[in-house]
Amino acid sequence: MKILFALLIAAFVASPAIAQEQIIEFYDTPYDSTADPFVQLENAKTLASDGNKLILLDVGGEWCIWCHRLDDLFREHADLATYMKAHYVPVKINYSLENKNEKFLARYPKIGGYPHIFVLDAQGDLIHSQNTGDLEEGKGHSPEKVMTFLKKWAERKNTGI
């Protein structure tokens, strides 16, 4: 009995570490041309509702250098990634020659460049459409501009504005 109890304790203690290793950060997730964005959004709505978060649709593709630069920004600035996780459910929506996801993207304002961000509430309703060119600085995205953007919408959600 003591051995069984010890094994259960060991499994319980080890499981968070195993789970942590299996978590893929949103910035390490590729744009998937085979993913169904309608399913992605439904999953995000559940997570956002359960976590009292907003949804951030990141529209772009593996072909897009600025999309990778935005991922790099979150990879290099833990404060941004932490804030994103706390307040948003990020979803990468593919736009590529293989799959433009036109039917899905038709419900949102026209996109002028990539990546493009749509902020949605937990029910999936559009709150804001953001040209990420406005968040750029030099050959990348400005950590300060991106944090200001993330905080602006999260704070509005929290104040009900």
Indicate the domain borders of the chain: 24-159
pTM: 0.83
- Tell me which fold the domain 24-159 belongs to: Glutaredoxin (3.40.30)
Q: 97 is written with which tokens?
A: 């020659």
Q: Which pLDDT band holds residue 7 (cuts at 50, 70, 90)?
A: very low
Q: Which pLDDT band holds residue 97 (cuts at 50, 70, 90)?
A: very high
Per-residue exposure over 126-161, b if at least 16 CB sit within 10 Å of its own CB, e if not: eeeebebeebbeeeebebeebbebbeebbeebeeee
Determine the pLDDT at residue 157: 74
Q: 96 is written with which tokens?
A: 């590529």
Q: What's the CA angle centered on 68, arms 67 and 70, to 5 degrees?
A: 65
Determine the pLDDT at residue 156: 84
Determine the pLDDT at residue 82: 95
Determine the pLDDT at residue 5: 37
- Tell me how far apart the alpha carbons of residues 2 and 132 are, in angstroms, rounded to a whole number: 58
